[in-house]
Amino acid sequence: MIGQKMQDALNAHVTSELFSANLYLAMSAYCEGKAYAGFSRWLRIQYFEELEHAHKMLDHLVARGGTAAIGAVNAPGREFGSILQVFEKVLDHERHVTQSIEELYRAASAERDPASQIFLQWFVSEQVEEEARVKEIVDKLRMVGDKSSAALYLDKEYGKRQRAGTT
Ligand SMILES: [Fe+2]
Ligand SMILES: [Fe+2]
């Protein structure tokens, strides 16, 4: 059975994944409102991914005899600036999430909870991917600068993203 400390830490992280989901949902709607339908779609898929992260963590907690305790989720805000600023904020946020996952991993080791350590490895690798994916978008948007035709091209390209497991 999972210890109280890990239970609390995982529960807190479930709430933080739900915040990530809502942040990307808000950003998706914001981009849609700015006529960036492709980036809006990309962020909407990211929203679903964050929900899946929350579910995955909750399932681990419950499977190990823990009690789910979902906390209040902060409002994500509604103004995100230019399309570059949107993705700079996504990258900042993902870096913050990476730190939080690494703390969870260290806590699992300190609590002598190998099942959580092994479980959290997936999240550690996922964060490497998430940061790389978002950094690529930020780098490309920086390259494009104020050339709107190039920004619209990127919007179209990133709008091709599919949800995992769907076609
Ligand atoms: Fe996540
Ligand atoms: Fe994420």
The pLDDT of residue 166 is 65
Closest C-alpha to 127, from 7, 5, 13: 13
Helix and strand totals (H; E) in the chain: 5, 0
The pLDDT of residue 167 is 52
Distance 108 CA to ligand 2 centre (A): 20
45 token code pair: 């898929």
pLDDT in tens, 80-127: 999 999 999 999 999 999 999 999 999 999 999 999 999 999 999 999
Neighbours of ion ligand 1 (CB under 5 A): 17, 50, 53
Neighbours of ion ligand 2 (CB under 5 A): 130
The pLDDT of residue 59 is 97
Distance 112 CA to ligand 2 centre (A): 26
> How high is the mean pLDDT of the chain?
96
d(CA 26, CA 143) in angstroms, rounded, equals: 25
Whole-structure pTM value: 0.95
In this prediction, residues 14-34 reach a mean pLDDT of 98
The pLDDT of residue 165 is 73
In this prediction, residues 72-79 reach a mean pLDDT of 96
The residues, ordered by sequence, that sit 6+ positions from 67 with a Cβ below 8 Å of its Cβ are 7, 61
The pLDDT of residue 61 is 97
Instruction: Please give the distance of CA 142 from its chain centroid, rounded to a whole number.
Output: 21
